[in-house]
Chain A
Amino acid sequence: MSPGHTVWLVARRELRTRLRAKSFLVGTAVSIAVLIGFVLLQSTLFGGERVTRVGLSGQATAISAPLTEEARSRGFEVRISTVRDPATGESAITDGELDALVTGTPAALHVVVDESLDENLRRALNTLVQSEVLRAQLAAVEELDPDQVLATVADATVDVRSLRAPDPTHDQRLALALVIVALLYLSLLLYGTMVAQGVVEEKSSRVVEVLLATVRPWELLAGKVVGLGLVGLAQLTVVGGVGVVLAAVTDVLTIPGVALGTLLWGLLWYLLGYLFYATVFAAAGSLVSRQEETQSVLLPITSVLVLAFVLGFGLLARLPNSSATAVLSVLPPFAPILLPGRLALGTATAWEVVVAIVLMLTSVAALTWLAGRIYAKAVLRTGPRLPLRDALRKGAP
């Protein structure tokens, strides 16, 4: 029987056990639900225009048209309603039916809000009040036509020249980047931990001795890593695929091509990242004999993943074009999480991707060799946690 067949038998057992388990279905369903929640949240935040509801009362009703105009020029929308008396307006604010109540004369407006006044609305109202006051002052000067002066002033604006064409899809790309970063982080953490737990389960149940009487340690390790990796790949594909389709159908995303590309890059980097982390998780798991000790021995590895995730979120949102982001996204421990995010944003260059993949494959090869040694040495040792130094010592088990 060839080693390949043995590895496949071990991998197939992992696949069957995990795919049949309730936890896989529940996990996939929950991930999809969270993603749907995120998409719906996005569609209300980005998809819907932000509307500020303003109630006008008394003489303030005169600013209805100028306020609508002013708001539009500032990039937001107001929905104006007329309020019979200030008391009704205030109770509407308390009930959350209005965002602001405006009373008083156009030259001296009073605003009532629940907690604080939206800055955009404040500036719009200030402009209205100031031009009203200005109009009154100008009217005192006889040879001037106040309307003409105001029109001239309004026409005087700065001339803007962009060095780079604005990307109207930036918000969508950022959302995609953050989603893929989160998905990759969760997948790598979940399936890496599963590999370690599987190793510890075989050790703590002692079944490993029965297995090693017929299977070589590296075959057992490879089978476990491959099997769980495929389960993770299937889950990521399903969750990501559902997410892309859903976002395209609900019009949250107008760039389905970019979304699909992000998913495909994400799947590739899941595989690379999984190979990088899974063997390390397995080697760490092989050092302990009881499930209770697993978390502590995995802590250094999970910390690196958490760091990559936190860095990914922060850097992609705030400093997507900085050179620090570029450098970190190429380094192996961070690349599987950061680089797909940068690819989604469209800020990664081809040579960065090539360098990252080469570095990744090199370190995967080195780590697999090292982890395989540790695993073969440690997997039959029961009792207290095996110090790493002993596991690395030369000699047969």
Chain B
Amino acid sequence: MLQVDGVTKRYGDVLACDRVSFDVGAGELFGFVGGNGAGKTTTMRIVLGVLAPDAGEVRFRGAPVDHAARRRFGYLPEERGLYPRMRVLDQLVYLAELHGADTNAAHRAAEHWIARLGLRGHRDTEVQRLSLGNQQRVQLAAALVHDPLVLVLDEPFSGLDPLAVDVLVEVLREQAAAGVPVVFSSHQLDLVERLCDRVGIITAGRVVASGTVEQLRAGTGSTLVVDAPAAPAGWAAGLPGVTVLGVHNGQTRLRVAPGTDDQPILAAALATGPVRGFTHQHPTLAELYRDVVGVR
């Protein structure tokens, strides 16, 4: 539905995006994960046409995205921005109208999102007088107010309180259920793991992995948590097919390569003293991310 195909953008010597490609299907939640400066924001700006790519293109429903198509996109930029001296309702109505809604529809949509995001008490308040959390809610409403066909949200969860996070999760699921492709970036990987159908990991301008979390897990083995309180540091080092992820409260987290027999690990653990736990877990997205990006 939304296809980013070979998008490349260079700033001087820095390659901000290097042939970035991914697809987001109708009704799919796509999590875009990467470190600061990895190229997430540049990619999103290119999808929205705020920046022009040096190469590659973005397609929606098979056709290259033009200005008219982008009108129906919803965008939450990483650097939040609203008119500080404009009232919440006026602001949302104005943005809805700029996206092509007529005045009545714009008012209805603005009121709907004000209520939905818990801003009713602030509809006539100037944005600059709102708390940061509430400004954030207005910004979300601004991305949603024109009933977008595609949602592109750059770090939508940052700065939200837990209740607002719940509301946003609900809203994103609703939008996806209505068939809207949703792309969002986040550093909260547990949230991405819980919410997203598929994930793309970008580092230094390149998409290094993408797929469902299950697909990303394939071939990475499992995470083994060994609770051996008396074990000395480094007890597991050198075991074949084993990588030590970390030690915490006497629990050692190990990455076990696929096809590795876990019994020699148990034997090695028992050799250090009592073993109270020996559990296989799926690697979390955070662990997969560290694997892929190559940082421990």
Binding site for B on A (CB under 8 A): 1, 6, 9-10, 13, 17, 201-202, 205-216, 380, 382, 396-397
CB <8 Å contact, A210 and B51: no
Q: Which residue of B lies closest to A380 (CB)?
A: B50
CB <8 Å contact, A207 and B82: yes
Interface pairs (22), CB distance under 8 Å: A1-B100, A9-B98, A13-B94, A17-B85, A205-B81, A205-B84, A206-B77, A206-B79, A207-B81, A209-B45, A209-B50, A209-B77, A210-B81, A210-B142, A211-B98, A212-B49, A213-B48, A213-B49, A213-B70, A214-B98, A215-B98, A396-B52
CB <8 Å contact, A210 and B94: no
State how many angstroms separate the Cβ of B48 from the closest Cβ of chain A: 4
CB <8 Å contact, B50 and A205: no
Q: What residues of A have a CB within 8 angstroms of the CB of B82 in the complex?
A: 205, 207, 210
Q: What residues of A have a CB within 8 angstroms of the CB of B98 in the complex?
A: 6, 9-10, 211, 214-215
Q: Which residue of B lies closest to A1 (CB)?
A: B100
Q: What residues of B have a CB within 8 angstroms of the CB of A212 in the complex?
A: 49-50
Q: Which residue of A lies closest to B128 (CB)?
A: A205
Q: Which residue of A lies closest to B102 (CB)?
A: A1
Q: Which residue of A lies closest to B74 (CB)?
A: A213
State how many angstroms separate the Cβ of A127 from the closest Cβ of chain B: 69
User: Complex formed: what's the CA distance from A281 to B79 in Å?
Assistant: 25
State how many angstroms separate the Cβ of B88 from the closest Cβ of chain A: 14
Q: Which residue of B lies closest to A396 (CB)?
A: B52
Starting from the known contacts A212-B50, A215-B98, 8 additional A-B residue pairs (CB-CB under 8 Å) come to: A17-B85, A201-B83, A202-B83, A207-B82, A209-B50, A209-B81, A210-B75, A214-B71
CB <8 Å contact, B83 and A205: yes
B194 in contact (CB, < 8 A)? no
B73 in contact (CB, < 8 A)? yes
B177 in contact (CB, < 8 A)? no
Q: What residues of B have a CB within 8 angstroms of the CB of A209 in the complex?
A: 45, 50, 77, 79, 81
B115 in contact (CB, < 8 A)? no
- Looking at chain B, what size class is its interface with the partner chain? 20 to 34
State how many angstroms separate the Cβ of A215 from the closest Cβ of chain B: 6
CB <8 Å contact, A397 and B79: no
Q: Which residue of B lies closest to A220 (CB)?
A: B98
B178 in contact (CB, < 8 A)? no
B99 in contact (CB, < 8 A)? yes
| Neighbour of A213 across the interface among B73, B79, B80, CB < 8 A | B73
User: Complex formed: what's the CA distance from A234 to B79 in Å?
Assistant: 36
State how many angstroms separate the Cβ of A137 from the closest Cβ of chain B: 84
User: Complex formed: what's the CA distance from A13 to B90 in Å?
Assistant: 9
Q: What residues of A have a CB within 8 angstroms of the CB of B45 in the complex?
A: 209
User: Complex formed: what's the CA distance from A215 to B80 in Å?
Assistant: 17
Mark each residue of chain B from 62 to 103: 1 if its CB lies under 8 Å from any CB of chain A, else 0: 000001001101010101111111100000001101111000
CB <8 Å contact, A206 and B80: yes
Contact status of A208 and B81, CB under 8 A, knowing A9-B97, A213-B50:
yes
CB <8 Å contact, A397 and B51: yes
Q: What residues of B have a CB within 8 angstroms of the CB of A207 in the complex?
A: 81-83
| Neighbour of B52 across the interface among A1, A17, A216, A397, CB < 8 A | A397
User: Complex formed: what's the CA distance from A202 to B94 in Å?
Assistant: 15
User: Complex formed: what's the CA distance from A382 to B50 in Å?
Assistant: 14
Q: Chain B interface secondary structure, helix, strand, loop or mixed?
A: loop
Binding site for A on B (CB under 8 A): 45, 48-52, 67, 70-71, 73, 75, 77, 79-86, 94-95, 97-100, 142
State how many angstroms separate the Cβ of B148 from the closest Cβ of chain A: 10
Q: Which residue of A lies closest to B71 (CB)?
A: A214
Q: What residues of A have a CB within 8 angstroms of the CB of B49 in the complex?
A: 212-213
Q: Which residue of A lies closest to B84 (CB)?
A: A205
Q: What residues of A have a CB within 8 angstroms of the CB of B94 in the complex?
A: 9, 13
User: Complex formed: what's the CA distance from A215 to B49 in Å?
Assistant: 10
State how many angstroms separate the Cβ of B31 from the closest Cβ of chain A: 21
User: Complex formed: what's the CA distance from A132 to B52 in Å?
Assistant: 95
CB <8 Å contact, B51 and A380: yes
9 closest Cβ pairs, A-B complex: A206-B81, A396-B52, A207-B81, A213-B75, A213-B48, A209-B77, A206-B79, A1-B100, A212-B50
Q: What residues of A have a CB within 8 angstroms of the CB of B67 in the complex?
A: 216
User: Complex formed: what's the CA distance from A382 to B77 in Å?
Assistant: 14
User: Complex formed: what's the CA distance from A210 to B98 in Å?
Assistant: 11
State how many angstroms separate the Cβ of B70 from the closest Cβ of chain A: 7
Q: Which residue of A lies closest to B67 (CB)?
A: A216
CB <8 Å contact, B83 and A214: no
User: Complex formed: what's the CA distance from A209 to B44 in Å?
Assistant: 12
Q: What residues of B have a CB within 8 angstroms of the CB of A210 in the complex?
A: 75, 77, 81-82, 95, 142
Q: What residues of B have a CB within 8 angstroms of the CB of A382 in the complex?
A: 79
CB <8 Å contact, B99 and A214: yes
User: Complex formed: what's the CA distance from A212 to B45 in Å?
Assistant: 10
User: Complex formed: what's the CA distance from A215 to B81 in Å?
Assistant: 15
State how many angstroms separate the Cβ of B144 from the closest Cβ of chain A: 12
Q: What residues of A have a CB within 8 angstroms of the CB of B100 in the complex?
A: 1
Q: What residues of B have a CB within 8 angstroms of the CB of A1 in the complex?
A: 71, 100
Interface centre among B67, B85, B98 (most CB of A within 10 A): B98
User: Complex formed: what's the CA distance from A9 to B101 in Å?
Assistant: 11
Q: Which residue of B lies closest to A208 (CB)?
A: B81
User: Complex formed: what's the CA distance from A207 to B100 in Å?
Assistant: 18
Q: What residues of A have a CB within 8 angstroms of the CB of B71 in the complex?
A: 1, 214
State how many angstroms separate the Cβ of B268 from the closest Cβ of chain A: 54
Q: What residues of A have a CB within 8 angstroms of the CB of B51 in the complex?
A: 380, 396-397
Q: What residues of B have a CB within 8 angstroms of the CB of A397 in the complex?
A: 51-52
State how many angstroms separate the Cβ of B58 from the closest Cβ of chain A: 13
Q: What residues of A have a CB within 8 angstroms of the CB of B142 in the complex?
A: 210
State how many angstroms separate the Cβ of B229 from the closest Cβ of chain A: 52
State how many angstroms separate the Cβ of A387 from the closest Cβ of chain B: 14
Q: Which residue of A lies closest to B81 (CB)?
A: A206
Q: Which residue of A lies closest to B51 (CB)?
A: A397
Q: Which residue of B lies closest to A217 (CB)?
A: B50
User: Complex formed: what's the CA distance from A248 to B117 in Å?
Assistant: 59
Q: What residues of B have a CB within 8 angstroms of the CB of A205 in the complex?
A: 81-84
State how many angstroms separate the Cβ of A384 from the closest Cβ of chain B: 15
Q: Which residue of A lies closest to B73 (CB)?
A: A213
User: Complex formed: what's the CA distance from A10 to B52 in Å?
Assistant: 23
User: Complex formed: what's the CA distance from A213 to B153 in Å?
Assistant: 12
User: Complex formed: what's the CA distance from A57 to B205 in Å?
Assistant: 101
